[in-house]
Amino acid sequence: MKNKKIEREIIIDTEQAQERRVAVVEDKVLEEYYIERDEQHRHMGSVYKGRVENIIPAINAAFVDIGLEKNGFIHIDDVFASNLDAMELEDEDEEEGEKKPQPQNKPKQKNRKDLKISDILKEKQEIIVQVVKEPISTKGCRLTTDISLPGRFLVLMPFEKQIAISRRIGNVQERKRLRQMAKEVNLPEGCGLIIRTAAEGCTKKAFENDVAYLVNTWKEIEEKHRSTSAPALLHPELDLVLRTIRDSYGEDVSRIVVNTKEDYDRVMEFVKSFVPEAKSNVRLYEGDVPIFERFNVQKDIDRAFRRNVWLKSGGYIVIDQTEAMIAIDVNSGRHTSSDNQEETVTKTNLEAADEIARQLKLRNIGGLVVVDFIDMHSKQNQKEVVMRLQSALKKDKAKSSILPLSEFGLLEMTRQRVTESIRQSVYDECPYCHGRGLVKSLLSICLELQRALQSLLSLEKEKDVRIDVNPSVAASLRDNLDILKKLEEQYKANLTITSNPKMDLEDYKFYDALSGKALQLKRR
């Protein structure tokens, strides 16, 4: 029996001037969601001419000024001396490998441990770098000198002479055919190629068109490199809309729908030169109903921000994202369809494995992930759940690594993190709880304030004190004036409560009631 063909759609919403959203839908189910805002400009993939600002010998790394708010970070493992000035590669041909090949001039691993960052880079040195990871939280961009320029079917590597092929192309004959075509295309001396998964089944003409576009792009970068001084942007990566079409369009995409005339024209212009067979599949949406509502995408986006995600069987998963890791808990919920508890649990875990892989990709969650599956007694069932998760993650472009279930029934895995998660892009930290998800009770705040006030009165000479608090706290204090009166009597003080709606619930401040001077609490 043949596998059912998956139908994919790319839905593009650019109606809001400051935001672009793209949804990739497979068989009417949201599989990928991307959001890009003007205030969160994407840098990953862009090529810069940078200037080395600081060498940090302790971590064998350097900070590079590329013209952004924060300096980029580059580790010695991402610095290849052959790429820095002459931009030349040794004229040596090697058989292509299954993984992305390392540059020919990169020192061998056994000698690399003895190499210091100061042996390769010097302060104020100008170098060409590419952003490989977006700035996240307080960290700047992660950089590399190993430049790679992606096309639709191929990736041009200006400093590597090898040819690599995507692991996801499994057919041996097809791999040989693609490798041979890659060897026959006209490349500048010293350049190499990576054959992308999308190249499977494509023609030699398509290869040649891709190479022509990429080589021309590289020549433009070289020219700008020669004519500008650092820091400077040499080549910007495509924006979200065009980048998604380049990376996601294939024979299984039935249509690309855009909801603004300006971006429809821009998409049409792009596909004419880059993806000509997609022209007939581009549609302009002009309906009154918001495009994501019309294509039933918005409900899935809303689910991506919920802590609990329900499964079709009646079970559910709980996703908690912290600074250190992501914790996912699987629960059986209402799933009681079988008298056999082991069978019910395994079925829920299998369904959860599929949904976890989907949610990680949908939410763009990266880093360490710990999954607490429902306990299974059968080793075979445990193995089946792990294999199901591994299989579901194969559709994810981000790299992941999975460990077997531990003796406590926990599964540990990592997922590549190169950009902020959807939650980080959309939400700001709560000014009240500062990311804890909890705020102190009014009683706790009042008791804490009373202890602080007692310390202040025991140390300060001023006895006329104004207490500024949130209105809710002020109301609670006024309901318990006896406590404040006792403090007034004990310290011969005069206390005044002032309600300030601009203050956070947990915040309070003390002032000299006569001068207005802020009173700082001093510890003994």
The DSSP annotation for 204-222 comes to HHHHHHHHHHHHHHHHHHH
Query: Span 47-236: which CATH code?
Result: 2.40.50.140
Confidence of residue 491 (pLDDT cuts 50, 70, 90): confident
Tell me, which fold does domain 306-424 have in CATH?
Aminopeptidase (3.40.630)
**Can you read off the two tokens belonging to residue 347?**
């079925």
CB 246 within 8 A of CB 256: no
φ, ψ at 443 (rounded to 5°): -65, -45
- HSE (CB half, 13 Å, CA atoms) of 8? 14
pTM across the whole model: 0.74
Tell whether the model's pLDDT for residue 95 goes beyond 50: no
Local structure of residue 197 (DSSP, 8 states): G
Between 407 and 111, residue with greater pLDDT = 407
Confidence of residue 276 (pLDDT cuts 50, 70, 90): confident
Residue 336: what pLDDT? 57
Residue 86: what pLDDT? 38
Tell me, which fold does domain 8-38+241-298 have in CATH?
Nucleotidyltransferase; domain 5 (3.30.420)
- Mean pLDDT for the chain? 85
Confidence of residue 81 (pLDDT cuts 50, 70, 90): low
Give the pLDDT mean for 300-315: 86
Choice among 3-12, 111-120, 473-482 with the minimum mean pLDDT: 111-120
CB 152 within 8 A of CB 210: yes
**Can you read off the two tokens belonging to residue 42?**
């994407």
Residue 380: what pLDDT? 94
Give the pLDDT mean for 301-321: 88
Tell whether the model's pLDDT for residue 281 goes beyond 90: yes
**Can you read off the two tokens belonging to residue 424?**
């980080």
Residue 27: what pLDDT? 86
CB 284 within 8 A of CB 261: yes
pLDDT tens, residue by residue, 12-65 = 999 887 889 999 999 888 988 988 887 667 788 999 999 999 999 999 999 999
Residue 101: what pLDDT? 44
pLDDT tens, residue by residue, 131-184 = 998 887 778 899 999 999 999 899 999 988 889 998 888 889 999 999 999 988
Residue 416: what pLDDT? 86
Confidence of residue 100 (pLDDT cuts 50, 70, 90): very low
Confidence of residue 89 (pLDDT cuts 50, 70, 90): very low
Q: In this structure, which amino acid lies at residue 239?
A: D
Domain boundaries, the chain: 8-38+241-298, 47-236, 306-424, 442-519
Local structure of residue 352 (DSSP, 8 states): H
Residue 107: what pLDDT? 45
CB 80 within 8 A of CB 146: yes
Which CATH class, in words, describes the domain spanning 442-519? alpha beta
Tell whether the model's pLDDT for residue 83 goes beyond 60: no
pLDDT tens, residue by residue, 327-365 = 999 998 765 555 678 888 999 999 999 999 999 988 888
Tell whether the model's pLDDT for residue 91 goes beyond 50: no
